[in-house]
Structure 1
């Protein structure tokens, strides 16, 4: 999708950082959020590459949700900038950010419980010019809910509702999907289903930023991991390096070095 016309004048730094000639699709620069005397996100420089699955982890209160809310536009930064796919998102409303190719699924399912699975998928498609019937059939298959197409969303299990909301997000054909604890409250089998879905979408070229506490799930899907602590980037690297880092174990995994 093309970016909103009113941001064209602010694109130069964004293009240099996340434009088509770069491998980076999302970047924050000196991003800071203060709530009174509390600094929840502290001068964060952070990147997600095109086609990458990056997991964001850290102890409670590390600033993960605040950082995600800054990227989605639910919160405005105190300082700093947010660039995505050549666009400066910093001053955009949440719906304008979606129009640039960003999609998000928050922790609790936000589905329309009285509508069928099929109708839920139609809601975001109204924002696009995509072929509704084709996209819906493809999406139902991807999220393994074809047989439940006419079932009210409120009758689905927790795991099915989570997959449905991911399906609603992917109907927009995003370049990057943000997932906030996508397997919270799920069974082992449901978690495996979501891991398979993310892996499949990743194989098709979609990038992911996943905020997650479930380390088994992180091991299953992640290519790169960023650890936040006290609002700042603490460590970054492959999951194998992160899990063997003694300082990370102290602050996140609750182990003694």
Structure 2
């Protein structure tokens, strides 16, 4: 995809960091975030390739959510750089990152409870030039909420609210979707629905970075897994290698090595 040009975008360092022949859509270089004397993210070098589903796991306090907030611009890094689609967006405003093709679905649903399902989907579309009616029809079908389009969002189940928020992000046709614990508090059936939705969007070319604690869910969707511990990358690789890593089992899965 082509990122809108911005006077704050520094293209050459991005090319140097990701390499012109690599397929990385997102990468960080020495990314660090300190809160006073606490280092929440510590010199993280991290890459997500275009078209993959990357899961980010780790114990509570490992820095996973902080990393997402740095990527979306909700937090500014203490040090380091963030590159997206060949451009440096380290200092870019959050709304510009959305325009560039990054969307996020937070852990707790961020929807408008008093609006209908369809009205919620219209909200993000107001700032685009997309064919709103066509996008609405397609998105409602994709998130399996077409029959509830005119119902207040407050009447939806927890799982349906999560699907609705994913749908709101999907209306913007992002190149990269960030999901923060998308199946937290869900039933087995609701979790399966979210896994199917992610796979469907992935099949259409969307790239995902997913923070999740539910390892069964991670097994269903992940291609590559990165493990954070104490703000740093502990290890990364396919799910089979991660689950067989003794250090991961000890620190994250609670097993004795």
Q: Structure 1 residue 3: deviation in Å? A: 1.9
In 1: Cα distance, 2:209 partner to 2:197 partner = 14
Q: What is aligned with 1:123?
A: 123
Q: How far did 1:79 drift?
A: 0.2
Alpha-carbon shift at residue 22 of structure 1 (Å): 2.9
| Distance in 1 separating the partners of 2:151 and 2:15 | 44
| Aligned equivalents of 1:17, 1:124: Cα separation in 2 | 32
| TM alignment of 1:122-141, pairs within 5 A | 122-141=122-141
Residue 20 (structure 1) shift: 7.5
SS of residue in 1 equivalent to 2:7? helix
- Return closer, same or farther for 1:71/1:136 CA change in 2, 3 Å cut-off: same
Give the Cα separation in 1 of the matches to 2:229 and 2:244.
Answer: 17
Aligned-partner Cα distance in 1 for 2:19–2:169: 23
Distance 1:19 1:203 in 2: 26
| Alignment match, 1:177 | 177
Could you tell me how far apart the structure 1 residues matched to 2:16 and 2:120 are? 37
Given that 1:19 and 1:25 are in contact with CA atoms closer than 8 Å, whether structure 2 keeps it comes out as no
Partner of 1:151: 151
Normalising by the residue count of structure 1, what TM-score does the alignment of the two structures yield? 0.97
Kept in 2: contact 1:30–1:45 (CA 8 A): yes
Per-residue CA deviations over 1:23-71 (Å, capped at 9, x if unaligned) read: 0000000000111111111100000000000000001111111111111
Partner residue, 1:241: 241
Q: Identify the residue that residue 38 of structure 1 maps to in structure 2.
A: 38
Is 1:256 paired with 2:250?
A: no
Is residue 62–residue 231 contact of structure 1 (8 Å, CA) maintained in 2? Answer: yes
CA contact (8 A) 2:51 2:207 kept: yes
Instruction: Give the corresponding residue for 1:218.
Output: 218
Cα distance, 1:7 vs structure 2:
2.8
Quick check: 1:53–1:221 contact (8 Å CA) kept in 2?
yes
Please tell me the root mean square deviation across aligned C-alpha atoms, in Å. Answer: 1.3
Quick one: distance in 2 between partners of 1:5 and 1:242?
39
Report the counterpart of residue 195 of structure 1 in structure 2: 195
Gaps of 5+ in 1: none
Q: Is the 8 A contact 1:7 1:87 kept in 2?
A: no
Distance, in Å, in 2 between the alignment partners of 1:233 and 1:25 is 19
> Is 1:163 the equivalent of 2:167?
no
TM-fit CA distance, 1:205: 0.5
User: 1:228: Cα distance to partner?
Assistant: 0.3
In 2, the alpha carbon distance for the partners of 1:83 and 1:2 equals: 12
Shift of 1:77: 0.3
Deviates more, 1:103-112 or 1:10-19: 10-19
Q: Distance in 1 between matches of 2:49 and 2:168?
A: 23
Aligned with 2:252: secondary structure?
helix
Residues 224 and 147 (structure 1 numbering): CA distance in 2 closer, same or farther, change over 3 Å? same
